[in-house]
Structure 1
């Protein structure tokens, strides 16, 4: 929206051409990003007023603006504009926030004109009855997919699991199920057990910049001194170019000297790991081996497998 701007990207042929990416692109509506600005935003029935983090300029965005911006970008999956519910929230605050998001969801549906898929976002905080009401209203509006929002905003793991368990048998079977802002490999495997199909998260890239690498046996911090003289690959079970061609000692050196290449290689590895994880999950489900996959996943990490469906 702000840099380089959705109108410029539209003029240049959309995001697919702009970044030379011929696969699906999902864009967020901006609701979470505005929420993350904290006191820099002001929410009203019409939309959100916030200050640009770049120059302080006042900007007002409506649900209709959000849809237009995403359509200008040429997204394949467009998200409805919502208000991310604070955590913790009182019941009354969560209810007001959810109801506002549902009114905005209807406006987004009416504003959506492109051939892209439009997903609605379930809100309601940690209150199951509000979550159910939100879902029912989204189903009535008839979105192409359903997302669960507000589950990566500081709540405990137990609270997140309780919401996932509650929603698992209520989400439509004929629409994609998208868990927003989640998460670790363990979070993803658990969510799939509750029927979730899609995820997004900054962890693979953000953690890579801090030297944290995801492996089949868990997370390692490659900056630690124990890897200074290690000739071992990052992950012996991973066939990424990084694991196959570079030692832990080399990645340790790059990270400790703040070489840009260190973050680049770590980012490549982490994204490759996540892609491989999702591929394993899909194949195990296709071959009716998901229960075995889950047990092996936790065994490799020396972790107790949480209770839940298989």
Structure 2
């Protein structure tokens, strides 16, 4: 581990682990869910409110921040933590996925990716070295190495070629990251759904040596069954004594299944994006507040939830503000959804500690199978 970064496993239940990742800016309890603050904000939330939900760490996005407002500007204004008023750990992704999915006119080479901004068409180059420099300027606590992620399905030859390029970029990222006490660098395993390619990637990353390891290239269209099939072997290919991060995942049932397969860290836009589109995520599954069935319902979204949305507002009110396009609808539902996710993570941590993860997962599935509350 980098100086000032420590990782300890305190309990195991099957493949699942309860851990603590300690950084100079605070401890990250795992299994951990990282709310996504793409452009230095978790949309519709104040940073203090995000912390109140139980979040230990946020995710920021290198691609978006380098384009607007610019990494040098963020650095000159005191770094990302001060800029967005969040004093706890931040993980920044490398920008590679966004370049592949958002940028226009991108050209991939051994050096990196040349692309045009989706905002104004300006031309930029992202390489392992520039990604490391941008993330250093931002000042994030956990830095992701630069990689390439092909969309699935893709043929085996394309996946193997991409993975090996990512491993060469991983070495360049490690070299460019250098010695940064108090900051961690994570490598990213690639290889699609192929067990042998994933194994080759894991061996290459372990030989380079990282402070943590991510499982990349999943949740890109392959479906949950295929993803779980890959997670049956991929986490175990990575070093046991370092954190394992499944990038871009996911739905609550994705997370429970991945924790049972040995994953420690997650991020996803789902809870905040759903909050902005009128969807509440509850222990009984998703609830669409646009539905007319809620217009006279005096009950809270989730009677068992203690968040400000559920403790102060009715489904009828949420239906009204969602249908009216009021900003408070996004605020309340995002707070609720993030609270639900952090409550789920705490439940998983406690279940692993108590050695009852199977029972927790069975209860989780049973509650979701009930579906939403019957109409009033």
TM tier, shorter chain?
A: over 0.9
Structure 1-normalised TM-score? 0.95
Which aligned pairs between 1:137-216 and structure 2 lie closer than 5 A?
A: 137-216=204-283
- Mapped to 1, the partners of 2:351 and 2:94 lie a distance apart of 32
Task: Give ranges in structure 1 of 5+ residues lacking alignment.
Answer: 304-310
Structure 1 position 65 matched with structure 2 position 102? no
Please state how far the C-alpha of 1:156 moved relative to its aligned partner.
2.0
Task: Give ranges in structure 2 of 5+ residues lacking alignment.
Answer: 1-65, 371-376
- Mapped to 2, the partners of 1:121 and 1:169 lie a distance apart of 14
Aligned residue in 2 for 1:307: none
SS of residue in 2 equivalent to 1:191: helix
- Mapped to 1, the partners of 2:95 and 2:252 lie a distance apart of 25
- Mapped to 2, the partners of 1:15 and 1:39 lie a distance apart of 26
Aligned residue in 2 for 1:24: 89
SS of residue in 1 equivalent to 2:214: strand
Question: 2:103–2:117: 8 Å Cα contact kept in structure 1?
Answer: no
Which of 149, 156, 174 matches 1:84? 149
Please state how far the C-alpha of 1:170 moved relative to its aligned partner.
2.1
Residue by residue, what CA displacement relative to the aligned partner does 1:70-90 show, whole Å, maximum 9, x if unpaired?
111110110000001221111
Q: By percentage of residues, which structure has more strand?
A: 2
Which aligned pairs between 1:275-294 and structure 2 lie closer than 5 A?
A: 275-294=342-361
Please state how far the C-alpha of 1:97 moved relative to its aligned partner.
0.3
Asked which structure has the greater RCO (Cα within 8 Å, sep 6+), the reply is 2
Structure 2-normalised TM-score? 0.79
SS of residue in 2 equivalent to 1:192: helix
Structure 1 position 9 matched with structure 2 position 74? yes
Aligned residue in 2 for 1:308: none
Which aligned pairs between 1:99-138 and structure 2 lie closer than 5 A?
A: 99-113=164-178, 114-115=180-181, 116-138=183-205
SS of residue in 2 equivalent to 1:85: coil
Please state how far the C-alpha of 1:253 moved relative to its aligned partner.
0.5
Residue by residue, what CA displacement relative to the aligned partner does 1:15-38 show, whole Å, maximum 9, x if unpaired?
111111111101100011011026
Please state how far the C-alpha of 1:39 moved relative to its aligned partner.
5.5
Residue by residue, what CA displacement relative to the aligned partner does 1:112-159 show, whole Å, maximum 9, x if unpaired?
132311000011112111111001100111011110111111102221
Aligned residues: 303
Which of 365, 369, 374 matches 1:298? 365
- Mapped to 1, the partners of 2:329 and 2:149 lie a distance apart of 34
SS of residue in 1 equivalent to 2:114: strand
- Mapped to 1, the partners of 2:359 and 2:89 lie a distance apart of 30
Question: 1:228–1:249: 8 Å Cα contact kept in structure 2?
Answer: yes
Residue by residue, what CA displacement relative to the aligned partner does 1:233-252 show, whole Å, maximum 9, x if unpaired?
11111111111111111111
Aligned residue in 2 for 1:306: none
Which of 190, 195, 219 matches 2:286? 219
Question: 2:215–2:235: 8 Å Cα contact kept in structure 1?
Answer: no
Which of 327, 330, 339 matches 1:260? 327
